[in-house]
Amino acid sequence: MTDRDDVPFDLASMRKQYRAEGLSETALAASPVEQFARWFKQAATDGGLFEPNAMIVSTADAEGRTSARTVLLKHFDEQGFVFYTNYDSRKAHDLAENPYVSLLFPWHPMARQVIVSGVARRTGRDETAAYFRTRPHGSQLGAWASAQSSVISTRADIDAAYAELAARYPEGEQVPVPPHWGGFRVAPQTVEFWQGRENRLHDRLRYLEQADGSWRVERLSP
């Protein structure tokens, strides 16, 4: 849009003044995963978030061309953050070429963000199968019906594929785990906790993994 009068909002003046309590080094947990668990519990219980486990996964291919999408975090522990996808998807192809990945949790109602940078590796098939069994029947069928990221002619194509699968595997019948579907575990190398503050002077505390497996915390200028 080039005509200023056609812009529906004055974007330059759109902002919120954050008045949240600050984040200090002394209040942090010993590890980033423990600190994430604290914040995630707050986000999931009283953060006013629709899907607190939604995160933006950013990847880059071998040529450095980036892409991003929102997926759901399905597990986390000291070994990393786990999500599931089609291994033929764009994100999976990117990670096969370049395993470095960024995860962003945009908890805007709380004026918080968590940014994880690390390396992604596929989960084992046993772990993948165990999670697949917890998915609703329709989601299990969907993992087979969708050739994720591929071009399709019409919506009817995928609806027909799903209907065929639903007939083959009716409700109550076990759906096999697709060989092209599974998890990625992102082992964190840095984890930044961002807390909004007044006058855009936000608190940014970042954990950095050390060679001995311990974590060092540094404060970043907002």
The residues assigned a catalytic role are: 200
The number of beta carbons lying within 10 Å of the beta carbon of residue 91 is 23
Give the DSSP H/E element, type plus range, for residue 210: none
Q: Evaluate whether 209 touches 138 at the Cβ level (below 8 Å).
A: no
Alpha-carbon torsion (78, 79, 84, 89), positive or negative = positive
Q: Return d(Cα 75, Cα 16) in angstroms, integer.
A: 32
Q: Which residue has the tokens 């019948």?
A: 173
Token pair for 156: 């009817």
Q: How far is CA 59 from the centre of its chain?
A: 11
* Rg of the chain over all Cα atoms, to the nearest angstrom: 20
